[in-house]
Each structure stands twice: as structure tokens, then as C-alpha cells.
Amino acid sequence: MPSFDPKKITDIHRHLHSHLPPEPALRVKAIESLLVEKGLVDPEAVDAWIEAYTEEIGPKRGAQVVARAWLDADFKALLLSDAAAAVTELGVQGQATGHLQAVENTDGVHNLVVCTLCSCYPFGILGMAPAWYKAAEYRARAVRDPRGVLAEFDVALGDDVAVKVWDSTAELRYMVLPQRPAGTDGWDQEALARLVTRNAMIGTDRDLSKGIA
């Protein structure tokens, strides 16, 4: 009679699944294949949307906005007073940026963005919201214990730094303007933009100097 080793079966199961996409990705692929088969979806259009969100609509758009603000005092002033107008000036406006407000990190202030009711997010310039941003735990704790949440993202703040939490809604969404790292004098906009992370524009990243080679 063959023996049954539960540990061995678990190891085999884990090994097999380590070579497969996660279950949600499999479901999406199955749905996409079915829609393509029925002629309801053009696979080239799907690829174009994926490329757009990865290469253009993703955080790279927001990074360009931040880099421009670091270089251009007039643009920075416009961004902080009327963010929707500022992003329109750069031609990177999109859905969810019509009621956008930018908040600036300083030596004495750190800003953190959350959406406590759902997951409102300026995806037109920051791309798709990360899974943790939509999680109930983040949405609750960001308001109740923002310093604790930031610590889990390796953002350590002194007592002299105030934390401001901004709660996004369908009518008003926020992005953080992070501080420009020291040692970047003379850098052009493209080089500066490469330092800007999505998390920095949400507020769960603060020190961008680690991106300097």
C-alpha cells in the first residue's frame, strides 16, 4: 500500500505553484482568452493598455510632475495652489486628476495619503493603486496610527516632524510632493524623475537620496 507523506505533497504543491502566475492572474488570463476567442476584445488593444499603464500612465507621470516642481518655482507654486491646472499644463492630466491637491513635505512636516472609505486614488498620474493602499488595515491604521504605519514602511520620523494625514474622496484626491534630495544640483528633469517613487507620492516613502548612485 503506498504511503502518504503530507509534507512531501505540500512541498510538491508549493513547487508547482511557484512556477505558475498567482490565482487572480490566471483568472484574468482565462477571461481575456475567452473574450478574445469570442471576438469581444482585441489582444493588441489589451497589450496597448498594459503598456500605457506601465510605461506612461503609471507613476512615471507623477514623477515628471514632481521633478518639474523641483526645478521650476513657478510650476511648484501652481502645483500647490491648483494641482489640476499644473498637471494639465504638463499634458499628463487624466481621469481622477480633475480635483487633485498636492501637499508638500518639508523638514518639519510629512504627509500621508489614505482613502478611508474605499480606495480613491489619482491613478491618472500615479498608475494603479497598490494592493496595500486598498487594504482595510492600511485605511484604518493610517488615520489611527500614522507613525506606526510609516515605521512599517521604514520611514522613521523624529518627534520634531509633524505627520498630516489626508483622506481622499471621489471629489478630492491627493498626491505628496516629496522633498528634493540633497546632492542633485544640476540634474535635469529626467534624472530627477528617476528618483521619485510611487510610495513617495503617497507618503509611505520619504528619503529619496537612496536612489542616488
211 contact partners, CB below 8 Å, separation of at least 6: 181, 194, 195, 197
Residue 40: predicted pLDDT = 81
Per-residue pLDDT tens over the stretch 94-145: 655 668 999 999 999 999 999 999 889 998 889 888 889 999 999 999 999 9
Residue 35: predicted pLDDT = 81
Per-residue pLDDT tens over the stretch 202-212: 999 999 998 88
As given in the structure block, the three cell numbers for residue 190 are: 529626467
Q: Is the distance from CB of 145 to CB of 95 less than 8 angstroms?
A: no
Q: Going from the N-terminus, what domains does the chain have, and what CATH number goes with each?
A: 55-211 (3.90.330.10)
Region at 91 (left for phi over 0; alpha for psi -120 to 50; beta for the rest):
left
Give the percent of the chain with pLDDT over 70.
79
> Residues with catalytic annotation?
115, 118-120
| 53 has pLDDT over 70 | no
Overall average pLDDT of the 43-51 stretch: 71
Residue 198: predicted pLDDT = 94
Which of 124-133, 158-167, 176-185 comes out lowest in average pLDDT? 124-133
